[in-house]
């Protein structure tokens, strides 16, 4: 089965091919051309000058479309997937919140059952457990009732029961967190630093014990801090200085204003940055109030200035962004070249999620998992390796 996409602005890892063509065979990219390709008896789609990008990869998403993954239902998971799919996310890592063991178990059971049968078009990357092993003072909007120290019996139970756990975010300075990092690393689960009071030396030890990623850089962590009059480099500085660490950023222009987006890019570079939405239930809707987490036990939030906040406005409470909005913010507002932005929206997160052999870039031999968008990053079509899906 062959298919040709032509008259597109093809975003490859190195440049943008104007009026280019992509030849697809059996769902894979067979070749890329710098001209309009036509072949007898081969279906052709005219991209009409739209940008053609690899599908976006979101490693940190809690919800959308009025649903949260902590609802632990097939309906919620499908609606979240469809909401973000319409905005260009074709691969997703569902994310939990600090909760009871029972709630985590229910969510993981629901994910495991649903992901086997889902036909939404989303590529599921396994579950990201965010919490509950966090520093209380850095919990942000995470519910204080459920914050606790690492419990080996608890996390080993979940890891043994659910092979779908792909990542776990933990405060590495807590008692037992380094041992947990080694357990995660040895099981092939991404160990990530998050909601933490750690300083540079703590991060150094964390990296030596399996931690490789920093969850939403700047959010829920210290920069330079003082202890007994002495200054200490925090997690932010450690993230910049330790080259092996990947970082993720909520590039909505609210969690991080444009100068900080530019700073992170200047220091870490696109190959070490993953754009994430950290989207919660109201993402993709017009809601002005909502709930962070499950409907039964979640935290009330308000939505204003295109971001979720606690009602007293003391903290942000996750974002309501979608990946197309992040791409537009980085490109149009931060002024970062589009090829570099797509690295952060697709290529780097695909590498972190270990799917980069087939996803994350437009290159010969990769799957034809493609998003078409205009100059304002409005998604118009998705090619799902088989057919063109009209979005808007």
Residue length of the chain: 392
Do residues 64 and 45 share a domain? no
Instruction: CATH number of the domain at 367, please.
Output: 2.30.40.10
For the chain, what is the mean pLDDT?
95
Instruction: CATH number of the domain at 295, please.
Output: 3.20.20.140
Do residues 48 and 63 share a domain? no
pLDDT score at 307: 94
**For the segment 5-25, what is each residue's pLDDT rounded down to a tens digit?**
999 999 999 999 999 999 999
Asked if 202 contacts 237 with a C-beta cutoff of 8 angstroms, the reply is no
pLDDT score at 175: 98
Cα-Cα end-to-end distance for the chain:
26
> Is residue 243 a part of any domain in this protein?
yes
pLDDT score at 261: 98
- Mean pLDDT calculated for residue range 187-199: 98
Do residues 14 and 45 share a domain? yes
Do residues 65 and 174 share a domain? yes
Residue 293 confidence (pLDDT) above 90: no
- Mean pLDDT calculated for residue range 349-377: 98
CA distance 253 to 325: 10
> Is residue 357 a part of any domain in this protein?
no
Do residues 180 and 206 share a domain? yes
Structural domain containing residue 13 = 2-53+362-390
Do residues 322 and 369 share a domain? no
Range list of β-strands (E), 99-245: 123-124, 127-130, 165-170, 190-193, 211-214, 225-227, 230-232
CA distance 32 to 363: 8
Residue 317 confidence (pLDDT) above 90: no
Do residues 42 and 69 share a domain? no
> Is residue 145 a part of any domain in this protein?
yes
> Is residue 173 a part of any domain in this protein?
yes
Least-confidence region, from 56-70, 90-104, 120-134, 297-311: 297-311
> Is residue 322 a part of any domain in this protein?
yes
pLDDT score at 131: 94
Do residues 79 and 149 share a domain? yes
Do residues 274 and 148 share a domain? yes
Please count the structural domains in the chain: 2
pLDDT score at 294: 79
Do residues 234 and 110 share a domain? yes
Cα–Cα nearest to 250, from 293, 223, 219? 219
Cα→Cα distances 18→34, 227, 340, 383, Å: 7, 55, 17, 19
Do residues 235 and 297 share a domain? yes
Cα–Cα nearest to 232, from 202, 256, 210? 202
Do residues 329 and 238 share a domain? yes
DSSP-derived secondary structure letter, 313: S
């Amino acid at each position: 089965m062959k298919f040709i996409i032509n008259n597109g602005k093809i975003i490859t890892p190195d440049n943008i091919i104007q009026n280019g063509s992509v030849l697809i065979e059996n769902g894979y990219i067979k070749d890329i051309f710098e001209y309009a390709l036509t072949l007898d008896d081969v279906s052709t789609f005219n991209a009409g000058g739209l940008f053609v990008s690899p599908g976006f990869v979101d490693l940190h998403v809690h919800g959308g479309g009025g649903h949260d993954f902590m609802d632990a239902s097939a309906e919620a998971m499908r609606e979240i997937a469809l909401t973000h799919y319409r905005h260009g996310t074709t691969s997703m890592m569902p994310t939990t919140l600090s909760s009871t063991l029972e709630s985590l178990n229910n969510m993981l059971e629901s994910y495991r059952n649903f992901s086997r049968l889902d036909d939404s078009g989303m590529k599921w990357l396994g579950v990201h457990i965010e919490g509950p092993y966090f520093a209380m003072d850095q919990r942000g909007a995470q519910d204080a009732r459920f914050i606790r120290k690492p419990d080996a019996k608890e996390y080993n139970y979940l890891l043994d029961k659910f092979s779908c756990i792909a990542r776990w975010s933990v405060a590495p300075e807590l008692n037992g967190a380094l041992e947990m990092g080694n357990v995660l690393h040895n099981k092939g689960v991404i160990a990530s630093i998050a909601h933490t009071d750690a300083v540079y030396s703590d991060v150094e030890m964390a990296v030596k014990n399996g931690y490789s990623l920093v969850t939403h850089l700047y959010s829920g962590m210290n920069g330079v801090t003082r202890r007994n009059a002495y200054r200490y480099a925090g997690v932010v500085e450690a993230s910049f200085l330790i080259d092996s660490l990947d970082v993720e950023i909520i590039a909505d222009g609210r969690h991080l204003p444009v100068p900080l987006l530019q700073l992170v890019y200047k220091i870490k570079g696109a190959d070490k940055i993953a754009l994430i939405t950290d989207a919660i239930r109201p993402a993709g809707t017009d809601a002005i109030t909502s709930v962070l987490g499950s409907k039964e036990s979640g935290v009330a939030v308000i939505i204003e200035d295109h971001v979720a906040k606690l009602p007293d406005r003391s903290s942000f409470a996750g974002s309501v962004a979608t990946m197309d909005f992040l791409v537009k913010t980085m490109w149009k507002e931060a002024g970062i070249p589009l090829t570099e932005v797509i690295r952060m929206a697709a290529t780097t997160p695909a590498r972190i999620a270990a799917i980069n052999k087939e996803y994350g870039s437009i290159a010969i031999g990769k799957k034809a998992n493609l998003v078409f968008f205009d100059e304002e990053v409005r998604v118009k079509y998705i090619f799902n390796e088989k057919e063109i899906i009209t979005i808007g």
